[in-house]
């Protein structure tokens, strides 16, 4: 297991390192001055000379990269060209805001997708199964931005149940300290915490539901297909021959094994959600990393683009790493696969 972890860690760090090299060279690919692209400090300003020296502007690429990496690690990510605010500060906040809805949406997707998928498999080829499956095909074909709009029209405008933008009503005076609104409420000295939580949760419902819809349907389909496949395995046949009712066969024997395949797909699903977060956040004005990146692209705010990409991609890589470790720990066969033949 240790060897497995070290091996995975190595690849993770390697990929991360390549990412920093890539993002370093982005500064040359972007138009304009390289040091400005890195630091957000404009050429004609006083601070530019200082920054130029700090980032080794007159040295060769390797030294410059070393400086770049050093600044990256010291969280000196420069300043936004638009707001002149430190990029790391805003980046970490938006990151937390995204993490908050992303994790909740993933949870929701698992809670919907896995049981429904198992249910569908248990009634394989029955009307229930067919209904669920056609529902799922529609569910993962629907464009998220369209779904978001339909839900807004229905729940927010017609029924007036839910608010549509932001994390919380700004009149609750919650300072964005961490970026995650639930944490921020806990940290605040607001006199109305209960009411604030209620308001924040109401704000979260639509973004989370929209974000969870696609992965939920994908998980449902995967869960169903994997479970159905497992149901044809000899050991399941053996269990059934012993007279266990189909329902218990599925729940006790097929589902746990199907979960392994699901976990393998979680990385992919996580990445997909991260990409959808860009769309969902910009529709619901959620102050997350996706909408931050989008605005930066439209404003050509290069230090921010770079930071947002770095954070987004590093997150997918890290999630991949975590899922692999978990899988390796939970299902030893994963470890064997890697070393059995080597």
Partner 1 sequence: MINLRASLPILLSLISIGCSSERELPEPLQKGLVYCSEGNPEGFNPQRITSGTTVDATAAQLYDRLIDYDASEQAFVPALATEWQALDDGTRYRFKLRDDVAFHTTNFFTPSRNLNADDVIFSFNRWLDSTALYHPVGGGSYPFFTATGLDRLINRVVKVGPHTIDIVLNNADSSFLANLATDFAVILSAEYAHKLDIANQPELIDQQPIGTGPFRFEAYRKDYYIRYSRNPDYWREGPDIEHLVYSITPNANKRMLKLVTGECDVIPYPLVSKLRSLNQAQIEVKSEVSPNVSFWAFNTQKKPFDNPQVRQALSYAINRRAIIDAIYYGSAEQAESVLPPTSWAFREAQINYQYDPEKARALLDEAGITAGFEMTIWAMPVQRVYNPNARRMAELMQSDLAQVGINVRIVSYEWNSFRRRLSRGEHDTALIGWYADNADPDNFFRPLLSCAAVATGSNRANWCHPGFDQILLQAIATTDTAERRQLYRSAQDLLNQQVPLLPIAHSMRYQAQQDFVTGVELPPYGGISFRRAGKELAQ
Partner 2 sequence: MAQHDLYYQDRNPSPLQLVWYSFRERTAAMIALWFLIILLVVTLASYLLAPYDPVQQFSDALSLPPSWTADGNMAFLFGTDDLGRDMLSRLLIGAAYSFALPLVIVIVASSFGIFTGAIAGIDRNAKYRLFGQVFDRVLTIPSFLLALVIIAILGPGLGNAIIAITLSLIPQFVYVTRNAVQSEWKKDYVTASRLNGCSDTYLMYRVIFPNITPAMVMQFTVALSVAIMDIAALSFLGLGVQAPTPEWGSMLARSLDEVYLSPWSMVLPGLALFITITAINIVGDSLRRAIKQRMDG
Q: Which residues bind partner 2 (CB under 8 A)?
A: 11-12, 14-15, 18, 26, 29-30, 137-138, 140-146, 149-150, 153, 221, 267-268, 271-272, 274-276, 278-279, 282, 293-294, 296-298, 300, 305, 309, 312-313, 316-317, 319-320
Examine residue 146 and tell whether it contacts partner 1 (CB under 8 A): no
**Cα 37–42–48 angle (5° rounding)?**
100
C-alpha–C-alpha distance, residues 293 and 216, integer Å? 25
One of 205, 251, 297, 314 touching partner 1 (CB under 8 A): 205
Choose from partner 1, partner 2, none: what does 149 bind? Cβ within 5-8 Å by kind. Answer: partner 2
Closest CA to 191 of 221, 171, 167: 171
C-alpha–C-alpha distance, residues 298 and 306, integer Å? 13
Q: Treating both helix axes as pointing N-terminal to C-terminal, what angle do 193-231 and 255-283 enclose, rounded to 10 degrees?
A: 140
Closest CA to 111 of 100, 99, 103: 103
| Binding-site string for partner 1 from residue 79 to residue 108, where x marks contact by CB under 8 A and - marks none | ---xx-x-----------------------
Nearer to partner 2, 148 or 196 (CB): 148
Secondary structure (3-state) at 86? strand
Question: In this structure, what DSSP letter does residue 162 have?
Answer: S
Nearer to partner 2, 11 or 161 (CB): 11
C-alpha–C-alpha distance, residues 274 and 290, integer Å? 8
Nearer to partner 1, 42 or 240 (CB): 42
Q: What's the closest the beta carbon of residue 199 comes to partner 1, in angstroms?
A: 4
Nearer to partner 1, 50 or 336 (CB): 50
Residue written as token pair 């630091």: 39
CB 168, CB 174: distance < 8 Å = yes
CB 102, CB 210: distance < 8 Å = no
CB 203, CB 167: distance < 8 Å = yes
Examine residue 126 and tell whether it contacts partner 1 (CB under 8 A): no
Q: What's the closest the beta carbon of residue 166 comes to partner 1, in angstroms?
A: 7
| Binding-site string for partner 1 from residue 283 to residue 322, where x marks contact by CB under 8 A and - marks none | --x-x-------x--xx-----------------------
Q: What's the closest the beta carbon of residue 235 comes to partner 2, in angstroms?
A: 17
One of 147, 183, 201, 314 touching partner 1 (CB under 8 A): 201
CB 27, CB 37: distance < 8 Å = yes
Name the segment binding partner 1 (CB under 8 A); options: 13-21, 159-167, 271-279, 319-327: 159-167
Residues 249-288 binding partner 1 (CB under 8 A) are 285, 287
Binding site for partner 1 (CB under 8 A): 82-83, 85, 152, 155-157, 160-166, 169-173, 175-176, 190, 192, 195-196, 198-199, 201-202, 205, 285, 287, 295, 298-299
């Amino acid at each position: 297991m240790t060897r497995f972890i070290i091996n995975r860690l190595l690849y993770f760090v390697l990929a991360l390192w390549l990412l920093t090299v890539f993002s370093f060279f982005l500064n040359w690919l972007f138009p304009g001055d390289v040091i400005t692209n890195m630091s957000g400090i404009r050429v004609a300003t006083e601070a530019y000379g200082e920054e130029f020296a700090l980032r080794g502007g007159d040295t060769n690429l390797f030294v410059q990269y070393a400086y770049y990496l050093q600044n990256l690690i010291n969280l000196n990510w420069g300043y936004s060209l638009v707001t002149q605010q430190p990029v790391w500060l805003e980046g970490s906040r938006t990151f937390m805001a995204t993490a908050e809805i992303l994790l909740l949406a993933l949870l929701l997707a698992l809670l919907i997708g896995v049981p429904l998928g198992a249910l569908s498999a248990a009634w394989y080829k029955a009307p229930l199964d067919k209904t669920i499956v056609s529902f799922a095909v529609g569910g993962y074909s629907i464009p998220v931005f369209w779904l978001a709009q339909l839900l807004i029209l229905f729940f927010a405008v017609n029924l007036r149940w839910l608010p549509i933008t932001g994390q919380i009503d700004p009149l609750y005076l919650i300072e964005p300290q961490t970026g995650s609104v639930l944490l921020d409420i806990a940290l605040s000295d607001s006199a109305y915490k209960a009411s604030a939580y209620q308001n924040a949760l109401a704000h979260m419902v639509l973004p989370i539901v929209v974000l969870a819809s696609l992965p939920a349907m994908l998980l449902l389909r995967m869960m169903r297909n994997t479970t159905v496949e497992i149901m044809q395995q000899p050991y399941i046949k053996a269990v059934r021959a012993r007279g266990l009712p189909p329902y218990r066969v599925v729940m006790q024997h097929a589902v746990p094994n199907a979960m392994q395949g699901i976990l393998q797909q979680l990385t992919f699903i996580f990445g997909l959600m991260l990409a959808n977060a860009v769309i969902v956040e910009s529709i619901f004005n959620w102050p997350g990393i996706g909408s931050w990146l989008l605005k930066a692209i439209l404003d050509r705010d290069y230090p921010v683009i770079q930071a947002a990409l770095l954070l987004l991609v590093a997150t997918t890589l890290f999630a991949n790493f975590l899922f692999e470790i978990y899988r390796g720990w939970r299902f030893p066969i994963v470890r064997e696969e890697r070393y059995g033949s080597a």
